[in-house]
Amino acid sequence: MTTAIPVDYPICLRLEGRRVLLVGGGAIAEGRALALLEAGARLQLVAPSVTEVLAKLAGEGRLDWVSRAYEDGDTRGHTLVLTATDDASVNQRIVTEARARGLWVNTADEPELCDFTLPSVERRGPITVAVSTAGQAPALARHLRRALASHIAPHHVLLARLSGWLRRQLPRGPRRQQLLKRLAEGDLGVLLARGEQARAFARLRTELKHWKSSGEPT
């Protein structure tokens, strides 16, 4: 109980088009692969045998399956490495090689061999709920993630999309900030939460008209 608990630094990675190496082809690797593909990664999978789902994804060309055991040099050219084999010595080799190349590596069952860990994740449109427990309680992370995600209602997703649209249309500055805050937690947000979309949009339209007539670009 006295072992120091790491203080993790959470980030959201943009993996679109980036080369990611995943070693291992069991159930754990399958979960990792689906999440990486959802994020748009260019995924290479190294494993002598894989699950049906992974084989199907490889058959469809969604990932590049190298059907053999891991070999030294396999991490070359990748930006991120994840390993989920059932062989601790192989995991150790991969971690050593990845770190020597300055790559970030995750090992599914060994926190000591992780430069980053994976939180429990749930998505609602552009909103992501992610809970980490610094490797202490993954089952609790899942439990809390479900509880927290249950608080995200459809109007929050609408609001996030609307905010994204407004941020693209309106110039930066205090006026835009104020409007977006009202949308998130002020009168406009309250109307959306109550299901009074028509009133919220009418108010927003009036607001945008004033914006135009005041000469600021929209």
Ligand X SMILES: C[C@@]1(CC(=O)O)c2cc3[nH]c(cc4nc(cc5[nH]c(cc(n2)[C@H]1CCC(=O)O)[C@@](C)(CC(=O)O)[C@@H]5CCC(=O)O)C(CC(=O)O)=C4CCC(=O)O)c(CCC(=O)O)c3CC(=O)O
Interaction site with ligand X (CB under 6 A) = 31, 106, 108-109, 111, 114, 117-120, 132-135, 138-139, 141-142, 145
157 HSE (CA, 13 A, CB side) = 12
> Which chain residues interact with ligand NAI by CB under 6 A?
23-29, 46-50, 69-70, 84-87, 90, 108-109, 138
23 binds, among ligand X, ligand NAI, none (CB under 5 to 8 A by kind): ligand NAI
Of 53 and 166, which has the nearer Cβ to ligand NAI? 53
Buried-exposed string 139-164: b where 16+ CB fall within 10 A, e elsewhere: eebbebbeeebeebeebbeebbebbe
Tokens describing residue 214: 């005041």
d(CA 66, CA 64): 6
Of 122 and 207, which has the nearer Cβ to ligand NAI? 122
90 binds, among ligand X, ligand NAI, none (CB under 5 to 8 A by kind): ligand NAI
Question: At residue 36, what is the residue type?
Answer: L
- Find the shortest distance in angstroms from Cβ 30 to ligand X: 11
Of 26 and 31, which has the nearer Cβ to ligand X? 31
12 DSSP 8-state letter: -
d(CA 173, CA 188): 19
Of 91 and 120, which has the nearer Cβ to ligand X? 120
